[in-house]
Structure formats: structure tokens, C-alpha cells
Structure 1
Amino acid sequence: MDTNSTEPSCSLEALRGSEGVCRFFALISFSSNFANNQKRRVMGKCKYCGKKAGFLSSIHKECEELHTQGLIECKEFVETTLFNPAETSTKITDTLEVFRQKNFLSEDEIRQIIQEEAKYHRVNSTVELNRLRELSAANYLTQKILDENLNSYSEGFIKEKCKQYFDRKIELEAVADSLATYRYRNKDFRDILLDSLNTASRRFLEDGVISDEERSLFNNFVGEFGINIGDLPSKYADSNIIKVKQLTFLKDLQNGEKPNFIVDAAPVILTKGEFFVWVYKGVTAYEERTKSEWVGRSGGASIRICKGVYYHVGQSKGHKVSTQYMAAVGTGFLMLTNKNIIFYSRSKSIKVAYKKIIALQPYSDGVEIQRETSQKRLVFSGFDSWFIMNLLSTLEL
């Protein structure tokens, strides 16, 4: 027998005496503990119910079926009841708790189902909005999704109030009250107001005439909410808002009134009695330029006199050819006053009195001007020309 071995011995010799008996029972205890440890390792618990699941298993088949069915039924329940005004919040939360216990749905799974429904279905009433607030308080809904629904509802509510105002159904104060009633996270009410104003302006333009009542509705709305027509976002550069405002200015001029057009820090000095009617931004000015070059033909022959020196025999007659082209001279502001067209940029400034214009050619994106004092054409590009054409007609110069 190898006395250096650490393994228990079961030989008859080893069993002789008390020492051998102890070693025998130690071997039995070791084997029993090893078997129990291995059994615990392979006997898992069901991840749904928490009870023993059997050898090398972590789920009960029936529990898994209950869970799968619960996900389907919970989704159907949320879709049909979450925004149903006939259902109470208490009933909804109680039913969700039943799904959690009976079908082993986790809070994260229930929360995900609710958030998906709330994300793609926007609330349409205060009842639905309060429902989401209660679910958010119960940690079933994130603050982000709640805010998105709140913004969507607030936007729809405010737009409806604006529409009612332009339909002469409510006073302007009711629109202002709607702004104070509903908070609007991470967005500006100005976007909603401009969108509503643009929609109303399109309706005003349908008959091609702005009535005094429509003019009053428009001006009161703009004044109440401090909308500066001369400083609108770029997406409204050619909007219905601009056209309606321009028509109201033309009507002011026809009535002998001065248009209330606000220009912040104007870079030009106006003459006595002169006032701004409109200002375009991002306009490019072009002036006609002449380019000349000398062209012609030569004839005869060249005779070599010496190395590097030739004498040309014959005749050569050339002539000058001139071509006209339009050269960009700057991009800046085109200001229309009651007396002049004024262009201002860092590289070039141009002033043309209406009375000095002998011809005006309108284009879809600008105008071409022929001046009395110059034969060179002048073009301004980057705006709709209809307003300037109507302005000159209205001023009766």
C-alpha cells in the first residue's frame, strides 16, 4: 500500500482497527456530500414560479405557456382599455396585477406593453391624459412618453382654439388662455401659432381678396402674440402669412395709411417722409457688365532675317468684340420703401428711385430693372416679384 496516497482505501487491511473504520465512514460521507452537491447543481428552479423545475431544467412547460399567453392577453387588454374612457384606472392597474401574478409577467414586460401603446396612440382628451399621468405615477410609463403625449394633446388643443378664433367662434382671449392652461415641454408655442396663422392665411387667400374682417383677425392675432412678420423662420419665407401681410400693407397704402412694418437696426438712412414697406433678406444683385476682346486674322508670309528674327510680309486687320454678361455684385437686403428700392450688402449698395425706373421685368424669383440714368440692366434675385409689381401699381407713381 502506498502510504503517500491521499485517496481513501477500502481494502480489508485498511478496515482493520479503529483507524480503518473511521476512514471507511469518511469515504461514505464524502461520496454522499459530493452526490448532493451535484444534485443541487443540476436541479434548477423555474424562472416563472420559482419552484423546482427538475433535472437540468429552469422552467416548467405549463408556466412558460401561461407566460406566453399572458403577454398576448395583456397586450390585447392594454390596446382595448388604456384609452377607453369607460375603464377606470383602478380596474386597469388591478388587471395588470393579475397578469403579473397569474401569468408571471414582470413589471418591465408590462411597462413595455403600456409604453408601446402610449407611444403610437396620442391622447385626445383630458381623461386619456389623466390616465397616462396615473400610469406614470405607478411607474408604468416614462416621463418622456408622458411629455410627448402632453405636447401632442396641447398642440392639438391650441390649434383648435386658433381655428375657432379665425372662424369667429371665440374671442382672442380664449386662445391666450389655452396657452396658459397647457404646459408644453421642450418646444415653443410660437411654432403652433405660426402654423395656425399660416393655415388661416391660406383660407383667406382662396378668394384672392382680404376682407376688412380678415385683415382685423390677422393683425389682432399677430399683435397679441408678438409675431414679427419681418423676422419669421426661414420655412415661412414664401408662406401664406407673408402674402396676407403684404396684401394688408397694400390695402393700408390704398387707404392712405402707413404700414406698420418693423425693421430692426436698418443699415440705411431714409429721407424725410420715407418709410419701409417691406424688406427681403438673402437677395443677390446682378449688374450688367461688358467684356471686350480683340480678335482678327493675319495673312502673308514670314521671312527669316537672321537667327531668331523674322519679318512678316502681308497685312493683319483685327477688331474689338464686346459681350454683355450679368455679374453678381453682392448678397444682402432688398428694402422697399414708399419712394425707393434700396439694396444693401457689405460689398455693394444700390438705390433706385421708383420714378427713375423706365422698365420692370418680373420673374418668378426676382425682377429686372431698366433705369433712366443707366443703360446697364440691374437684376435682383431671391424673392417673389408679385408684391413689388403690385406695390408700384398701388403707389401710382
Structure 2
Amino acid sequence: MGTCIYCGKPAGIFRKKHRECAEKRDQGWNEIIRLAKEAAIGTYPLEDVTNRSAAIAANSFLSSNEIREAMVTGWEKAVEHFLEDGNLEPQEEIRLVAFAEHFELTQEDLDKNGAYTQFVKGLVLRDLMEGKIPERFRPIGHLPFNFQRKEKLIWAFNDVKYYEDRTRRRYTGGSRGVSIRIAKGVYYRVGSFRGHPIETTERIHVDTGILAVTTKHLYFYGPRKSFRIRFDKIVSFTPYSDAIGIQRDAATAKPQFFVTGDGWFTYNLLVNLSNLEN
């Protein structure tokens, strides 16, 4: 006879939980998340969340650790709510910070699913749109770049796939032709050329590495390729869902692409920073 993992009472042969207990647990879990989100947004009193969530947990088979997990999930949903319009207002930042401090949630707690990183990204973009140089990003470990004097790091992306568009040429329509003697010892082969050139463009994965954005340059470092590009040498930015494409101001420059995983943020970061520097 199995025992219910929630209420501790017999659950039947080969069963680990009662359906009613599981439903009660899920309802309680979702209710605490809803309360946490509303408190982080500012539509529910922050000081009432602890007692209310404890009462719900007591009736829903939820532990104190699960309450804390629900608080983190509620905070994540609040970040998502605030960023729906692409902006993170100062008052929204204050509410999110106050919620995290009230429940003693660490950066590690809040970034398990990347929500804290999204929160900081919103702050960085707000700084740029207000004409400020962001100083919110802190890299973990040493970056392999030689930044110039008075150059400030704005953001760095790890595991960035770098692609280049390269043109390949092949010939079609050639023939062996015939040889015509022009003078003694000199022959001109008619039709000996390889035909007409046909060019095709292929997007090639060149390397994977770190992409750093500073106040002056775009840096890339990988095992096979390393370079930096001045912002005033970039003539266009092309946004993609998970990447950014750039075109440098050079006659022979080919389009370059960086897959950062967050094309929206990367595009807005580079465009706003470029405009700020100009």
C-alpha cells in the first residue's frame, strides 16, 4: 500500500499521492506565486505576503523552501511583466529591489532562470536612453581584451558564435576549344577559358568566443579569431531574434554576425551606445 507524499495517508496500491492532495498543492503553489508577483509589481502589500503565503502553504502541503522558490518565481514574473514594453522605469526597479531585499533573495537565487540578468539588461538600456554610460555589468573572471585608456566595459556575452558571409566563385560554360596558329611557335586556344563566373554567398561559422561591448569598440575573442571594431566604423546594424549583424565601412568588408542568444537586447545595446558616442 502506497503512502501519499503530501498528506501521509494511504494512497492505494502503487500510488504515491492522492489526486486531491496534488491539486491542492498545485493551487497553493500558484496562489503564492501570484501574491509574490503582485507584491513585486506593487499591487499587493509587501508586508502581508509572509503571513498570507504561510497560511496558504500550511493548507497546501508546501514547505518553507518551496515558499522561497515561489517567491523567486513571482519575482521572475514581475520582471517579465515590467519588461513587456521594453522599458524598466526607476519605480519598477525600486519595487523589484525592495522585494528581493525583503525576502533576502540573492542574485544567485534570482538568476537561476536568467531573470536577474534580464533585469540588469533593462537597467543598462535605460541608462543609455537617458544619455548615461552604464556601469552595472560585472564580469566573472578575467576578460582576454586589452581595453584602451578611458574605455569602459558595458557588457560581455559568453559562448557567442561568430559568422561571416563569404563569396565563393565557380565557372560554368567553358569548353576545350581549338588551337589556332598565329605565328611560328605561338598558338591561341579559342574557348580554352573556364566559362562564366558564378558567385554564391555562404554564411560560415568562423569561431565561438567572447563578445565584449565597450564605450568605443566591439571586441571578439575566440580560439581562432580575435579582433575589435570601432563603433564609428560600423555603418549598419541588423537585428535577429538571437543575433546581431553588422556591416563595416570598408570596400572589402563582408557582413559579420554574432549569435548572442538575445538579439533584441544586443541590437538595442549597440544602437543606443553608438548613438550616444556619436
TM-score (norm 1): 0.49
* Local SS of the residue matching 1:390: helix
1:226 aligns with 2:106: yes
> What CA deviation, in whole Å up to 9, does each residue of 1:306-359 have, x standing for no partner?
xxxxxx996333157354322211123322223222223223223222111012
Residues 152, 291 of structure 1: CA spacing in aligned structure 2 closer, same or farther, 3 A cutoff? Answer: same
> What CA deviation, in whole Å up to 9, does each residue of 1:42-64 have, x standing for no partner?
xxxxxxxxxxxxxxxxxxxxxxx
Q: Report which of the two has the higher share of strand.
A: 2
Contact 2:156 2:211 (8 Å CA) reproduced: yes
Residues 158, 365 of structure 1: CA spacing in aligned structure 2 closer, same or farther, 3 A cutoff? Answer: closer
Q: Distance in 2 between matches of 1:361 and 1:381?
A: 12
Q: Distance in 1 between matches of 2:155 and 2:239?
A: 17
Match of 2:184 in 1: none
Contact 2:242 2:261 (8 Å CA) reproduced: yes
Q: Distance in 2 between matches of 1:316 and 1:358?
A: 43
Match of 1:372 in 2: 249
Match of 1:121 among 21, 25, 40: 21
- Is there any run of 5+ residues in structure 1 with no aligned partner, and where? 1-81, 84-109, 125-148, 302-311
1:160 aligns with 2:35: yes
1:245 aligns with 2:115: no
The code of the aligned residue for 1:111 comes to P
Residues 122, 255 of structure 1: CA spacing in aligned structure 2 closer, same or farther, 3 A cutoff? Answer: farther
> What CA deviation, in whole Å up to 9, does each residue of 1:368-394 have, x standing for no partner?
211124522211234333323322443
> What CA deviation, in whole Å up to 9, does each residue of 1:182-201 have, x standing for no partner?
8556x795x54442222112
> Which structure has the larger Rg?
1
Alignment of 1:31-180 (within 5 A): 111-112=10-11, 118=18, 120-122=20-22, 157=32, 160-161=35-36, 163-167=38-42, 169-171=44-46
Could you say which structure has the greater relative contact order, defined with CA pairs below 8 angstroms and 6 or more residues apart?
2
Q: Distance in 1 between matches of 2:165 and 2:238?
A: 15
The code of the aligned residue for 1:347 comes to R
Match of 2:220 among 343, 358, 375: 343
Q: Distance in 1 between matches of 2:40 and 2:144?
A: 39
**Pairwise CA distance, 1:121:** 1.6
Q: Distance in 2 between matches of 1:252 and 1:393?
A: 13
The code of the aligned residue for 1:353 comes to R
- Is there any run of 5+ residues in structure 2 with no aligned partner, and where? 1-5, 180-186
Count of aligned pairs: 246
Match of 2:231 among 354, 362, 367: 354
Contact 1:367 1:380 (8 Å CA) reproduced: yes
The code of the aligned residue for 1:264 comes to I
Contact 1:286 1:379 (8 Å CA) reproduced: yes
Q: Report which of the two has the higher share of helix.
A: 1
Considering only aligned residues, what root-mean-square deviation do their CA atoms show, in Å? 4.2
The code of the aligned residue for 1:330 comes to D
